[in-house]
Amino acid sequence: MGPFLCTTSDVPEGGRKSVQPESLPELVVCNVAGTFYVLAATCSHGEASLAAGRLLGCELECPLHAGRFDVTTGGATRRPAKKPVETYQCVEQDGGLYLTDAASSAASASQAA
């Protein structure tokens, strides 16, 4: 199991939260109808944290230029954003949310890049 992200109660349904695990880029945890999704928080378009944006259904909206991303795939769904953001697998255990090992190394690699 990878690093701890937050408790599940930190992110109610329809909510999103910025998390900053050590040695990893800022991530955003989204709760869509009880399912948790984790994405790289920095928008692929402008320099902004998606964690400060609105979660609308399964779309996370950038607070800067209002581009949107599908949190289930990371794909850009609304202009001006075009490039996807990274998504990461997470697991839930004892009320805590953790990156999977694979997701953790992917995030580290993306941080290094």
Q: Which residues bind other proteins (CB under 8 A)?
A: 45, 65-67, 79-83
In the complex with other proteins, the residue whose CB is nearer, 6 or 81, is 81
Smallest gap from Cβ 42 to other proteins, in A, equals 13
Q: State the minimum distance, in angstroms, from the CB of residue 59 to other proteins.
A: 14
Distance between CA atoms of residues 68 and 82, nearest Å: 9
Nearer to other proteins, 76 or 90 (CB): 76
The minimum distance between CB 78 and other proteins, in angstroms, equals: 8
* Helix, strand and coil in the chain, % to nearest 5: 15, 40, 45
Distance (Å, rounded) from C-alpha 57 to C-alpha 24? 27
Q: Which is nearer to other proteins, 66 or 91 (CB)?
A: 66
CB of 64 to other proteins, least distance (A): 10
Distance CA 96, CA 74 (A): 23
Short-list 108, 107, 74, 103, CA closest to 90:
103
